[in-house]
Amino acid sequence: MEKQYLVVVEGKPRGPYSYSELKTLSIRPTTFIKTPEMDDYKEAHELSELRELLGFKEQAVIPQYFATLDQRLLAAAIDYLIIFAVYCFVAVLAVSLTDKKVIQIALSVAALALIPVSRIPYSILLESSGRQGTFGKVLLGLKVTDENGLRITTARAASRNLAKLISKLTLGVGYLSGFFDKRQQCLHDKIAGTLVVRDRLV
């Protein structure tokens, strides 16, 4: 079934319209549009499929809603659970390949030690992707952007996640500093020039 869109026209939602029908409407980059799956309306230029259909360029949208520390901690907990589940699968597979107890224990401990390390490339890859966030962040309606609200590059995602080491070395003060910032920027976000934003209805 073709995706349906609601379009705000003169302050009122109209539709639903099919993807192909949108071309016949006078849609501007700032026209508000949503699908039944979306919690809230977005401007047309924010939706990649509509930019492709209507020839819009993505415009910077100054972020207004920022993720709180508790939301970010919950997202991190979800990410660790996901990585731990993958670790368990890999560890069981590796252990099953040998009958020697010493090797089994060594493989299990080595894999467990890799969990916090593996979160760095995991976060870099997903935060710089079209999802703009790890699985934990996406589940909570959060995403990582630059200070203009745009998708970050792989280099910026790398600097953000490596800078988290500084936030940890300050015994968590780098994270807690977000409490005192109007945009909830932690120390590593300030270093990398990033924001963690949330959907308005979260």
What confidence score (pLDDT) does residue 88 get? 82
**What distance in Å separates the CA atoms of residue 49 and residue 148, rounded to the nearest whole number?**
21
What confidence score (pLDDT) does residue 202 get? 43
Provide CB contacts within 8 A for 163, sequence distance 6+.
Answer: 187, 188, 191, 192
Could you count the other beta carbons within 10 Å of the beta carbon of residue 118? 14
What confidence score (pLDDT) does residue 60 get? 56
What confidence score (pLDDT) does residue 87 get? 84
Beta carbons of 35 and 47 less than 8 angstroms apart: no
What confidence score (pLDDT) does residue 63 get? 75
Question: How do strand 12-18 and strand 32-34 relate by DSSP bridges?
Answer: unpaired
What confidence score (pLDDT) does residue 130 get? 87
User: What's the predicted TM-score (pTM) here?
Assistant: 0.66
* Positive or negative torsion for Cα 49, 55, 59, 65: negative
What confidence score (pLDDT) does residue 59 get? 57
Residue ranges in the chain whose pLDDT is less than 50: 201-202
Beta carbons of 24 and 32 less than 8 angstroms apart: no
What confidence score (pLDDT) does residue 157 get? 96
- For the stretch 143-181, pLDDT in tens is 999 988 888 999 999 999 999 999 888 888 888 888 888
